[in-house]
Amino acid sequence: MLRSRVLGTGSYAPKKVVTNFDLEGIVDTTDAWIATRTGIRERRVSVTGGATQMAVKAGKAALKSSDVNPKDIDLIVVGTVTPEMTFPSTACFVQAELGLCPGAPAFDVSAACSGFLFALDAADRYIRTGGAKKALVIGVDQFSRIVDWSDRATCVLFGDGAGAVVLSGEKGNHGLLSSHTHSDGRGWEMLYAPSPVQPSRFEEKCAEKPYLKMNGNETFKIAVRTMEEAVKEALASSGLDSDDISLFIPHQANMRIIKAMKERMNLPDEKVVMNLEKYGNTSAGSIPLALDEAVKGGRVKKGDIILFVAFGGGLTWASAVLRW
Ligand SMILES: CC(C)(COP(=O)(O)OP(=O)(O)OC[C@H]1O[C@@H](n2cnc3c(N)ncnc32)[C@H](O)[C@@H]1OP(=O)(O)O)[C@@H](O)C(=O)NCCC(=O)NCCS
């Protein structure tokens, strides 16, 4: 049976660090409030480049670590909701800038914070059905562009970043064991960002400042409940239970959400990847950035079972189980 195996990972976070103390000078907040309510201490902000540049850097690093010739990449999928252009897609720019196979399909997936897992799922389907042999899958977002820097309830939560993996279709037991994606558009008003090109149907919403809006409290409750269900579905479909998990890599939105999940799954700290204190919520960048750090930090070894779970605007949620 053909599976999507990860050959290499890469990530990129912009150099500019914005600490909670920096934010104290911008909005009415404190380092203590942000750290205790979210776990975030600092985030990165892209000052000169946009999502394309971050995606290219993460993709290049993933290609380097996988030792795959760029010309052999015959599929490029990018999860993002902050592309620099409405079209072409970020994936097309990545294809051109990294010299990936001309003619290979390249497209973006819009699933907010679940974007990377949706992109991974799409690439996996191409690979398993013979539509591609080697794929570059990237999650990237630049929320510094869409948050209202005068709204303390949201601007403290997000940051910019990207992560990438190179997948290869291989026979055997290693690779993606299961992948699930879900959406429920009825909950879209929980978390959204109006388009800068104002669509008439949403004129009322777009007449507000075109920034990200979030009902934090409700989103929090739904995120915990939904991610818990996603974990159960992932484990059941892979025939695993939480003791089998070597490493849990959840979307990095809030330390309290991750802790709640860790307790429900009865996982020890060393099996849970949490890096949001350094980056905040980087949306689609969050999971592949955390994966790359875990790989580089020696936390992943051959045969390990990794469980990923994400939740985001849409509403969207997703999971994946991977044998390394
Ligand atoms: C946003 C979030 C951190 C807020 O934490 P919370 O404990 O729910 O806080 P609340 O929104 O209830 O606000 C509590 C108080 O803190 C205040 N507050 C909000 N942001 C603040 C900030 N940055 N600094 C100081 N005070 C702040 C509120 O105004 C409120 O004050 P009040 O009690 O006087 O009205 C939390 O709801 C969250 O993480 N939500 C989910 C985020 C998420 O997962 N989003 C994306 C999914 S991908």
Distance CA 284, CA 287 (A): 7
Kindly report, as residue ranges, where domains of CATH 3.40.47.10 are found in the chain. Answer: 2-172, 177-323
Over the chain (324 residues), what is each successive 10-residue block's mean pLDDT?
96 97 96 98 94 98 97 98 95 98 97 98 97 98 95 97 98 96 97 76 62 94 95 95 96 97 94 98 98 98 97 98 98
| Closest by CA position to 156, among listed 50, 247, 34, 272 | 34
Distance CA 255, CA 220 (A): 11
| pLDDT at residue 1 in the model | 84
| Closest by CA position to 39, among listed 208, 286, 236 | 286
| pLDDT at residue 49 in the model | 87
Distance of CA 91 to the CA centre of its chain: 15
Cis, peptide link before residue 102, omega less than 30° from 0: no
Q: Which residue among 37, 147, 261 is best mutated to probe the pocket of ligand 1, counting the most ligand atoms within 8 A of its Cβ?
A: 37
Catalytic residue among 101, 113, 254, 275: 113
| pLDDT at residue 154 in the model | 96
| Burial environment of residue 15 by CB neighbours within 10 A (0 to 12, 13 to 18, 19 or more) | exposed
Strand pairing report for 17-19 and 42-44: antiparallel
Beta carbons within 8 Å of 282's beta carbon, 6+ residues apart: 13, 43, 44, 141, 143, 158, 159, 160, 161, 162, 252, 289
Backbone angles phi, psi at 190, to 5 degrees: -60, -35
Q: Which of the four CATH numbers 3.40.50.300, 3.20.20.70, 3.30.2000.10, 3.40.47.10 does domain 177-323 have?
A: 3.40.47.10
Q: Which CATH homologous superfamily contains domain 2-172?
A: Thiolase/Chalcone synthase (3.40.47.10)
Report the separation in Å between the CA atom of 248 and the middle of ligand 1, taken as the mean of its atom positions. Answer: 25
The residue nearest atom 21 of ligand 1, judged by CA position, is 153
| pLDDT at residue 216 in the model | 93
Is the shortest distance between the CB of 312 and ligand 1 below 6 Å?
yes
Catalytic residue among 20, 254, 275, 281: 281
| pLDDT at residue 195 in the model | 82
Report the separation in Å between the CA atom of 188 and the middle of ligand 1, taken as the mean of its atom positions. Answer: 19
| pLDDT at residue 200 in the model | 55
